[in-house]
Amino acid sequence: MRHFLTALAFWGAIGVAPVAAQDNKVVVELYTSQGCSSCPPADALLHDLAGRSDVIALALHVDYWDYLGWKDNFGSPNFTARQHGYARAAHATTVYTPQMVIGGKDHVIGSKAMEVMDYVAQHRSAADQIAMTLTRNGDEVQINARSNAGPLGDLIVQVVRYTSEETVAITRGENAGKTISYNNIVHMWDEVGHWDGSRPLAITAPAKGSDPIVVIIQADRHGPILAAAEIR
């Protein structure tokens, strides 16, 4: 909470009036597919994580299981590419579903709830390196941030949008006959800037529509996530 109050004082001093300001939250990315028979337990776990105030839970549906007989209508080659980027960063030779990536750093099978919760707790206990506030102005979001630790290297500023929930009746493939509710389904993940933490960040990015806005500041080349905030 100390970092949260510091951020409010900082931005108040320079005249910014944020409509939402939050402590950094732990980002949990679930790589999943409607065509994967092992994924429903992980999808259910993401539902539980989405209800936590200290977590930003994001479902990224991949497309590499579409050949099994059911095309995931949320699947995107961009999310498959992001997962492969994490694999390269971890020197892994394969990707799989369901996989959760916590804080851009720790990888775990997405249905292993105890391991996921342990990693979330570890990330929550770490000191915040960046204070960030978001201001929503119509179809734009103003992103303001400053480093608590000096220069931090090459960081990527990303804006993410997701749909809170959709239910799908699956008629073919490994999950044929199941009706599954999916939560926090990512449909946009855009890079909007670079930053190194040496001076305060202030940028504006497009954010059309009423879906929640998530801003993630992450080390380049699929490194750790150093800050994340959300406006619903």
Predicted local distance difference test score (pLDDT) of residue 22:
53
Cis peptide before 212 (omega within 30 of 0): no
Q: How far is the C-alpha of 11 from the C-alpha of 77, rounded, in Å?
A: 38
Joined together, the tokens standing for residue 179 give: 């009706």
- Which residues, listed in sequence order, are joined to residue 169 by a DSSP beta bridge? 179
Q: What is the mean pLDDT of residues 126-145?
A: 93
CB-based burial label for 78 (10 Å; 0-12, 13-18, 19+): middle
Give pLDDT tens digits for 177-220: 999 999 999 999 999 999 999 999 999 999 999 999 999 999 99
Predicted local distance difference test score (pLDDT) of residue 232:
84
Give pLDDT tens digits for 85-117: 999 999 999 999 999 999 999 999 999 999 999
Predicted local distance difference test score (pLDDT) of residue 204:
97
CB 21 within 8 A of CB 3: no
Alpha-carbon distances of 129 from 4, 17, 142, rounded to whole Å: 12, 22, 20
The residues, any chain, with a CB within 8 Å of residue 84's CB and separated by 6 or more, are 95
- Mean pLDDT score across all residues of the chain: 91
Q: What is the mean pLDDT of residues 129-142?
A: 93
Q: How far is the C-alpha of 202 from the C-alpha of 122, rounded, in Å?
A: 29
Residue 66 is which amino acid? D
Predicted local distance difference test score (pLDDT) of residue 5:
34
Q: How far is the C-alpha of 121 from the C-alpha of 115, rounded, in Å?
A: 10
- DSSP code for 66: G
